[in-house]
A and B are shown apart, each in its own frame.
Chain A
């Protein structure tokens, strides 16, 4: 009341106008939200499919302003949709990196079905990744590349970069990559010895259903949905906010099935034996030594990551690559700071882009 009395009549009128306008926008956006219409299109940065095998596809993002000789290949996670890295125009990691002069490729694993139930780590590390890298080399004519693995994609990138001859990986960027599964907390607690058996979660398609994975993520913070909805209600008048909220909500709910064979390996090797901490892993009948790669390795972690806690990601910096070729980056934000959110575009992505640029050659130099 005191505030209202201090306002001039013109200010008061402006405030009333603003509130009326916001009420109208709230009602309009609320109806659209409930009806499910006006959902933003996700992953729309223009791209071409340059290679595919099974469900995996390699996308190359169109760009007229490539400044760096080495292309950037992003290897996405197996458990979530890749469009988190290309969420919305103006809020897309891929778009950001492309505009910084990188020739961006993204390896998307697709949505597994019963045909993919036998996909194991070997399928991704020995079958898909070498072919995808060959396609990147063929497309760009460049022998070297920067490989950036996100979440479980980071583990695949580590295994590929150390498990093959002539990998072409000059820089290996590991974004929120779990390595110490003893520190993964509630994400994997149900799968520890004596609790759930991996086969308890596999359905008749041979995969772990997407809903099971969603439940796992949901149970990390089951009540935050209330805070999120309340914040949405407060900002319902703001088209931009609603658009971002819908995009994130869709991605959060849009999990994909986990191929059964790979899931069993992850549980047995990573969760129960914590085998990644030994800096080597037996994959495809050979021992992969994590220090074999000649690539410069960047371990990029997020301060407030609840999916891959900092403690689970930090040790990888001392396990992969040669000691004199290791860097570390601690970023603000949570697990999605590599793809979206205010801190992503203010801090995380500029830091990542600067590091990659500093370790790449300018074209024609």
Chain B
């Protein structure tokens, strides 16, 4: 192993050790959770304002598109479930003695 690589690896460990200790600590995860909540609250507030503006212009907002995508996905899943139930019923009918 060349000297420069040894140096880089040693340096990485010297920095990496404390960094890992920090990002594995309870405090870090508490901060991440709080930041996540904060970001969500902020996003909701901004989206609510922009939604109102866009709706005034009779335009769909990002949240509308998201909701529609969610509804479509739910419908797709429901169709899939129905198809599976149908398949099970057919299976059960085929298995019944004639």
Residues of chain A at the chain B interface (Cβ within 8 Å):
54, 114-115, 117-118, 185-186, 189-190, 192, 194-196, 200, 204-206, 219-224, 226-227, 230-231, 233-234
Contact = CB atoms under 8 A, between A and B. Distances in A.
A114 B77 contact: yes
B95 interface: no
B96 interface: no
- Please classify the interface of chain B as helix (H, G, I), strand (E, B), loop, or mixed, using the class held by over half of its residues: helix
B76 A227 contact: no
Contacts of A226: 8, 12, 16
Contacts of A230: 5, 8-9, 12
A115 B77 contact: yes
Nearest to B68: A204
Chain A's interface: helix, strand, loop or mixed, by majority? loop
Interface in B1-48: 1-2, 5, 8-9, 12-13, 15-16, 19-20, 23-24, 26, 29-30, 32-33, 36-37, 40
Given A222-B19, A231-B5, A204 B32 contact: no
22 contacts: A114-B77, A115-B80, A185-B24, A186-B24, A189-B24, A189-B26, A190-B32, A192-B29, A194-B33, A195-B33, A196-B32, A204-B66, A206-B73, A219-B23, A222-B23, A223-B12, A224-B12, A226-B8, A227-B9, A227-B12, A227-B13, A233-B5
B70 interface: yes
Query: Closest 8 CB pairs between A and B?
Result: A114-B73, A223-B16, A195-B33, A230-B8, A186-B24, A227-B12, A189-B29, A234-B5
Contact of B29 (A190, A220, A234): A190
Contacts of A194: 33
A223 B8 CA distance: 11
